[in-house]
Amino acid sequence: MSTAPVTPVTPAPQGAPAPAGIVIIGAGPAAVMLLERILANHARDTPSQRLDIQLVDPHEPGGGRIWRRAQSPLLKLNSMFADVAFFTDPSCQIAGPVAQGPTLSHWVELVRAGDIDLPEWADERIFTEVATAGPQDFPTRRLNNAYLGWAYEEALRRAAPSVTVEWVQDLAVSVNAGGHTPGDLHTVRLASGAELCADAVVYALGHNGSMPTNEAIKLSSFADRHNLGYVAPGFTADLNLDWVPAGEPVIVRGMGLAAVDLTVLLTEGRGGTFARTPQGTLAYTPSGQEPILHLGSRRGVPYRSKITSTPVGEPVALEYLGAEFHAWVRDLGRPLDFAADVWPRIVADLLTGYYRELFTGHPDRVTGTWDDFAAGLREILGTPAGYESADLITLITAHVPHADDRFDLASFDMPLAGPGVSVPSEAAPAASTAGATAPDLSPTDRVQQRVREHIAQDLRQRTSPEHSATQALFLTALFAHMALAEVPVEKWNATSRTQALPKRWQGFFSYLASGPPGHRLEELLALAEAGVVHFLGGSVQLELHDGDAAALDLAGRPIDGGWGSGQFIGSGSANIAGEIAQTRVVANTLIDAWLPSAEAAGSDNVLLRQLIRSGQASELRVADATYSGTTGQVEVADHGVIPGAERQFALGSFTSDMNAGAFARPGLNSLPFRQHDRLARQVLDAVSSVGVGSDAHALPGSSPVASRQLVSAARRRDTIGE
């Protein structure tokens, strides 16, 4: 068998132990943050052990594919500069060493001061962003790439001299499992045909797409048959949208982050501009190249915007999901059920966190004291379904005079499902129909006004200092998310593991806590005012009109039609003053703007599919009295260990572990730091005895390092030490 060239490696002294070989497949944020934890733990605990670590990814280490620099400079993170951290800090409760480093915000300050250089590829946009950015601004993805790339290099600079790290610029397509004995190596095959050998393999594959679903195949076939345009769920930055026609209606299903990015690329990305009016509102001037976007979803509104206010009352803390909850879970003699056991506690903590901040931080906006209100709140929440009771509404109404200050879970979660109240906006442009009463408007215009009022209200409540209770609500949800991540996965019943946690809870948490920057929603209002964006409302339905035949919905049921040959028909609704107003639009283009589902067997990642087919990994299958089936995610035990696979590990949203997100917030003992540190220690433990005292499993006539590295020449070596 021929092998690709091997980069020369300085041989170890005669008789020295062979290095332990670790291959990390992926080089995005999770992979390099894990690498930093491996290097930090190794440098403190076992600095004399030789490690040979390889990161396999077509994209440069740090940003990986999602955060690569080769994407539109208009695309941003939905985290503020001050909330992005790569390095651990003193708040981290971890077994490994805390190795502090600059957050993104501090890194920018160091760049300004000349202490850190920007990468060679930095252009005028990056220099301007660095010069003008503040801690509460939202960075572009390209600048975040620069930070992550620097952090990766910094992690290498801190490593022990006994470590060699290299980036292999290639794509892993299969792994042949070894690892049954200390000398039995795993073989990682690359798209180039080259191979890598390692004692341990970590799958840090990040976000992946999926093979087309049955619905996507049906919609694509329908579009092809009628010469229409259809975009299946995908990562917005990866999509080719140049063909989307200007001036024509486009139905967009989804109003989360993917839809916001899509809107940016199809408006400002096509030459439109935003500017402040003399009145301080934001206005949009179209370029004429924009399509007319009709946005709708199940809720019918965007994710809640990111919050810029600061809590001023008593500290945010969990009362119902704290230490007592975890002790109760440990002693529970049955599987934990999310709906019955946990959701009421989540709601209780959200209500408590919100109103604690309102009462203690803004006593002028309430009547009575926090102690009195809290006593009544605890009593109500201590009854079955108390958070849904009329007693709770009575308590809140009696103590919170202004409706704008009240937090009601049902209307917060599904704002278009209830009657709704028109709330004048001080922070965003008024709707063009604001001067008309609802009955004078068409149903479509009434829905537009209702959604625009909701967005304006959300902006005001999540950016104004007097509404800092929304920041407490966010922090409470974040702490709840971290608390649930600490519950061992085997404690949950099957329904909770497969349905409630990954869908109900993660969907609600994302809606509450992972929305776009506030200025994106202000731009959305300006686009609506300019007539470039329209809102379909909630409970969006899609119908297909198939030429002269009867129009059918996606289930094949006949629907009323009367339109031209082959078109998409989108409809939505909103509850306005107790009446349901409906919208309907016909379009030749449909875009499904949400991320693909993270299912291993159906992934577009060839390696993930190979792992499932080969039996090296399995999709999590659970069964009990509540549910029987698979989650679609790769099953991992505690700390990312793949059950039954010797020295193989997995990290990321495609696994059955609780998703920790791409980045960590500093100062909060953040979950990603804890996950990465635990996994790093597992990996080091797994290779702790590899080659100790000998190089017996090196290939004859080669150095121990070279025997593990049958790699292509398309790579970069970051040599820390030999």
10-residue mean pLDDT profile of the chain (722 residues): values are 33 67 97 98 97 97 94 95 96 97 97 97 97 95 97 98 97 86 85 96 90 92 95 92 96 96 98 96 97 97 92 96 96 95 97 98 96 97 92 96 94 84 34 46 93 95 92 96 90 90 92 94 97 96 76 50 70 92 95 87 89 89 84 83 90 81 85 94 92 38 38 37 34
pLDDT at residue 21, rounded to an integer: 96
Nearest one of 534, 300, 579 to 439, comparing CA atoms: 579
Inter-residue contact 55 to 24 (CB < 8 Å):
yes
pTM for the predicted model, two decimal places: 0.87
CB atoms within 10 A of CB 180: 9
Q: In Å, what is the CA distance from 497 to each residue of 71, 193, 598, 650?
A: 35, 38, 15, 18
pLDDT at 603: 86
Q: List all residues 6 or more positions away from 657 whose beta carbon is below 8 Å from its beta carbon.
A: 489, 636, 640, 651, 675
Range 441-449, long-range pairs (CB < 8 A, 24+ positions): 443/581, 443/582, 443/583, 444/534, 444/581, 444/583, 444/584, 446/574, 446/576, 446/581, 447/535, 447/536, 447/537, 447/572, 447/573, 447/574, 447/576, 447/581, 447/582, 447/583, 448/528, 448/534, 448/535, 449/422
| CATH T-level assignment (fold) for domain 20-209+603-712 | FAD/NAD(P)-binding domain (3.50.50)
Q: Where are the domains of the chain?
A: 20-209+603-712, 323-362+367-400+468-513
- Residue found by looking up tokens 């919208």 in the block: 583
Helices (H), 414-517: 443-463, 469-485, 494-495, 506-513
Cα separation, 455 vs 477, whole angstroms: 21
Residue 1: per-residue pLDDT:
30
User: Measured between alpha carbons, how far is 101 from 96 in angstroms, rounded to an integer?
Assistant: 15
pLDDT for 489 equals 83
Q: What are phi and psi of 65, to 5 degrees?
A: -75, -50
Residue reference for tokens 């009434």: 446
